[in-house]
């Protein structure tokens, strides 16, 4: 059994794409997907995925502009998973990023023998601006590219009250595998909906132009059609 936690709300299009990426996964084992939607009325409309158990929760108070509820929502998801038995791995799946079909399978391979696994050298791509940033993060993985075992859960929980949860988590987790596999996932930003706070959302910080979309196609292949 693996568990996915997705904080969402106010990003209808992004969440619809997130569902598409999860339906495309080649992983065949049992999955529980915990979706934490804190916007009223809710904007995540869950569709059944074969042999996946989907749990939706709606923490309160509801999100309003200017609020940062990321830590609260992740904690709400973690509280749910504590009642689930035989968890092999926990994945943080963010609602506005791209995941290749073999993401879950490849991440599980890298997690074996470690308490946490994450892909480094993150790429953020801003769709409307057609600009991207190739990060050179080697000491930590972005949150959306992070998976951990139950042995790493307490370290993750202790990181939730910090501004940069991912940096804090990777600083403190001892048994870890930070690797690069050629962009199993890509940070996709700039779509309509609730604004984000990370560097990928800041158009002026994305230095490289991609006017013809060649870089995006190199990153995600034929799935580029979903962003055209």
For residues 130 and 227, give the distance between their C-alpha atoms in angstroms, rounded to a whole number: 11
- For residues 160 and 151, is the Cβ–Cβ distance under 8 A? no
Number of Cβ atoms within 10 Å of the Cβ of 152: 24
Pick the range with the lowest mean pLDDT from 36-40, 52-56, 107-111: 36-40
- For residues 121 and 135, is the Cβ–Cβ distance under 8 A? yes
The residues near 97 (Cβ < 8 Å, ≥ 6 apart) are 18, 144, 185, 186, 187, 188
- Name the pTM for this structure: 0.94
178-196 tens-digit pLDDT: 999 889 999 999 888 766 6
For residues 133 and 124, give the distance between their C-alpha atoms in angstroms, rounded to a whole number: 5
Task: Give the start-to-end residue ranges of the domains of the chain.
Answer: 2-227
Number of Cβ atoms within 10 Å of the Cβ of 224: 15
Structure tokens at 21: 């990426």
For residues 38 and 42, give the distance between their C-alpha atoms in angstroms, rounded to a whole number: 7
192-223 tens-digit pLDDT: 876 666 654 556 666 789 999 999 999 999 99
Q: Sort strands 116-119 and 52-57 into parallel, antiparallel or unpaired.
A: unpaired
β-bridge partners, 43: none
* Superfamily the domain 2-227 falls into: Spore Coat Polysaccharide Biosynthesis Protein SpsA; Chain A (3.90.550.10)
Q: Which residue would you say has higher pLDDT here, 101 or 42?
A: 101
Position 203 scores a pLDDT of 60
Position 204 scores a pLDDT of 60
């Amino acid at each position: 059994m693996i568990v996915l936690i997705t904080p969402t709300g106010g990003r209808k299009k992004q969440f619809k794409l997130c569902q598409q990426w999860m339906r495309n996964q080649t992983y065949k084992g049992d999955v529980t997907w915990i979706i934490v939607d804190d916007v009223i009325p809710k904007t995540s409309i869950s569709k059944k995925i074969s042999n996946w158990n989907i749990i939706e929760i709606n923490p309160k108070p509801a999100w309003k502009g200017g609020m940062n509820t990321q830590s609260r929502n992740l904690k709400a998801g973690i509280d749910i998973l504590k009642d689930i038995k035989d968890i092999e791995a926990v994945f943080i799946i963010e609602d506005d990023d791209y995941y290749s079909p073999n993401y879950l399978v490849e991440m599980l391979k890298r997690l074996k023998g470690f308490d946490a696994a994450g892909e480094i050298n993150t790429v953020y791509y801003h769709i409307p601006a057609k600009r991207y940033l190739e990060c050179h993060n080697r000491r930590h993985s972005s949150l959306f590219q992070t998976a951990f075992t139950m042995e790493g859960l307490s370290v993750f929980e202790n990181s939730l009250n910090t501004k940069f949860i991912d940096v804090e988590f990777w600083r403190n987790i001892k048994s870890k595998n930070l690797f690069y596999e050629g962009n199993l996932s890509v940070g996709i930003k700039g779509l309509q909906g609730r604004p984000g706070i990370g560097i990928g959302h800041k158009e002026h910080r994305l230095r490289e132009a991609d006017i013809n979309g060649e870089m995006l196609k190199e990153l995600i292949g034929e799935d580029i059609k979903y962003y055209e």
